[in-house]
Structure 1
């Protein structure tokens, strides 16, 4: 049974979070339009092995799932979402160093949080990094057009344009290829606009992040290209990239993540 979510007043919003398992704390930061459990329930990821060895903190990002949010693009930019993540940890794991796992928007949130407070984290797992730098430019008009479409014709109009097929061959065995958007239609345009004006810091800033990092990319997904994983692996000083092209390779990720996190120190430096 899914543990009940708690609500924390965080930076002008009510953020929903819960935790499962025992042991060193690890936080999971989901992707855009999803929520704390939705990517797992759709079969994209399986973090049960993580919560068997760790205390896994899941939360619904601002404006997503059970969490509230406003109607301004700025509050959904990656730096602001990184500040939210740090504030969630102040509530859920005060004074603890934590591991972190993110997907797409959640990966970006983790990087911004870790750059601001590197001593707060032990190790980072960056799954499906989104478009960054050069490749991100092509996403800007798509995000803005999607936001405008929702405002003029409703969320269903955008959902009708979504192709019901795996975005990567690694997801061929997923339970569902398209998950319902876990953001209210009145807020989603602002989430999309916040994404449109977001990007990661330049490589020279990421080079200062001296933490062990595991990067997990899958093939065939233009919104989360392998090229982003390679760029991050080159920019971060202690990073390793693994790429999944098949469901069997994707099924290796949970064990790989646990092994990586278990080698992290849990005491304050």
Structure 2
């Protein structure tokens, strides 16, 4: 039934995002060949601290696809940073994808929150400075989104300096509607109604074969483990 590439979000990994939740097992039971990838700075991948090295996160995505499915396009599922990375990959080489699920992105693709990214970096740098001085960071000074990202970055196995470098990567430009229109395979945008990226319907409308699924009472970080996400994605991939 084909191969499915899974791309985790910022601060996650193939193992913690997809395997631990049981999502990979569901795909395997449905006869799918799962292709896992850890983005640079995450999981088992190298974790450099130089933001310049994170300019093109699609390299490891294409390495995985070309190694495990060299002759056939793949289905793909990406969450948050993984969805944004898949978006750039599909614009660059649309012929390598037969079906894509973009989870945890939506209005933030159309209206980029550069100020929000700056606040997240400032929060991460506050934690790094506190670690260097052996003091405790004051999380109460951060806004809610920055505090959530900081807490997510402090999960076991993460390198907070590498994760800060990922966000501080040189700007690669905003997504233009004309570029999104080149992704002609079926696309599903999945976003929770409590996600800062909500809504996702406008983004979905920019793809020739796109549609949106909104998850009720689901926030950003809960998305890849939500039953609604499982159901919508498996149905879309014809994996029931």
Bin of the TM-score, shorter chain as denominator length: 0.7 to 0.9
- Which residue number corresponds to residue 159 of structure 2? 184
Do residues 232 (structure 1) and 203 (structure 2) align? yes
- Which residue number corresponds to residue 216 of structure 2? 245
**In the comparison of the two structures, how many residue pairs are matched?**
221
Contact 1:35 1:182 in 2 (8 A): no
Distance (Å, rounded) in 2 between the aligned partners of 1:208 and 1:132? 16
Contact 2:4 2:33 in 1 (8 A): yes
Distance 1:198 1:42, change over 3 A: farther
| Cα shift readout 1:113-167 (whole Å, capped 9, x = no counterpart) | 111111111100111116224242232321331342244223995695697xxx8
Which segment drifts farther, 206-215 or 254-263? 254-263
- Which residue number corresponds to residue 118 of structure 1? 94
- Give unpaired runs (5+ residues) of structure 1: 1-22, 168-176, 264-269
Contact 2:191 2:213 in 1 (8 A): yes
Runs (4+) of structure 1 exceeding 4 A deviation are 40-43, 155-163
Q: What is the root-mean-square deviation in Å for CA atoms of aligned residues?
A: 3.1
Distance 1:140 1:198, change over 3 A: farther
Distance 1:111 1:119, change over 3 A: same
Do residues 51 (structure 1) and 51 (structure 2) align? no
Distance 1:74 1:251, change over 3 A: same
- Which residue number corresponds to residue 140 of structure 1? 117
- Other structure's SS at 1:187 match: helix
TM-score, normalisation: structure 1: 0.71
Distance (Å, rounded) in 1 between the aligned partners of 2:91 and 2:180? 8
TM-score, normalisation: structure 2: 0.78
- Other structure's SS at 1:240 match: strand
- Which residue number corresponds to residue 77 of structure 2? 101
Contact 1:136 1:199 in 2 (8 A): no
Distance (Å, rounded) in 1 between the aligned partners of 2:192 and 2:40? 26
Which segment drifts farther, 86-95 or 60-69? 86-95
The structure carrying a bigger helix percent of its residues is 2
The offset of 1:230, in angstroms, is: 2.3
